[in-house]
Amino acid sequence: MAQRGYNYNQILAKYFPGTMVGPQSNVRSPSKSRSSSRFRVTFPETDAREAERILSLLESNRNVLQRRLSTAGVEFQFPTVEIVINKSTGDFVGRTGMPPWAAAATHNNRIELQPLSLLKRRGILETTLRHELVHVVIDAVGGNRTPRWLAEGIALHLAGEGKLLEQERNAVALRPKELEDKLANAKTAAEMKQAYAAAYRTVRELIRVEGENKLWKRVAQRSYDVSAGRR
Ligand SMILES: [Zn+2]
CB-facing half-sphere around the CA of 141: CA atoms within 13 A: 30
Give the Å distance between the CA of 180 and the centre of ligand 1. Answer: 13
- Check residue 82 and report its DSSP letter: E
Whether pLDDT at 27 is above 50: no
Give the Å distance between the CA of 120 and the centre of ligand 1. Answer: 18
Whether residues 137 and 182 fall in one domain: no
Whether pLDDT at 24 is above 60: no
Whether pLDDT at 123 is above 50: yes
> How many domains does the chain divide into?
2
The fraction of the chain above a pLDDT of 70, given in percent, is: 93
Please check whether residue 217 lies inside any domain of the structure. Answer: yes
The residue among 116, 141, 166 that closes a domain is 141
Please tell me the least confidently modeled range out of 28-32, 101-105, 223-227. Answer: 28-32
Give the Å distance between the CA of 177 and the centre of ligand 1. Answer: 18
Give the Å distance between the CA of 155 and the centre of ligand 1. Answer: 6
Whether residues 79 and 93 fall in one domain: yes
- Higher pLDDT: 176 or 126? It is 126
**What was the pLDDT predicted at 170?**
62
Please check whether residue 84 lies inside any domain of the structure. Answer: yes
Whether pLDDT at 202 is above 50: yes
Give the Å distance between the CA of 132 and the centre of ligand 1. Answer: 6
Sequence-distant (6+) residues with CB within 8 A of 113 are 83, 84, 85, 86, 92, 103, 104, 119, 128, 129, 132
d(CA 220, CA 203): 16
Give the Å distance between the CA of 101 and the centre of ligand 1. Answer: 13
Q: Are 99 and 10 in contact (CB under 8 A)?
A: no
**What was the pLDDT predicted at 30?**
55
Whether residues 118 and 53 fall in one domain: yes
The residue among 111, 141, 171 that closes a domain is 141
Give the Å distance between the CA of 152 and the centre of ligand 1. Answer: 5
Residue range of the domain that includes 62: 30-141
Give the Å distance between the CA of 22 and the centre of ligand 1. Answer: 30
Whether residues 193 and 128 fall in one domain: no
Helices H, strands E: what count in the chain?
11, 5
**What was the pLDDT predicted at 231?**
46
The residue among 141, 169, 190 that closes a domain is 141
d(CA 176, CA 116): 34
**What was the pLDDT predicted at 163?**
83
Give the Å distance between the CA of 126 and the centre of ligand 1. Answer: 14
β-strand partners of 107: 110
Give the Å distance between the CA of 102 and the centre of ligand 1. Answer: 10
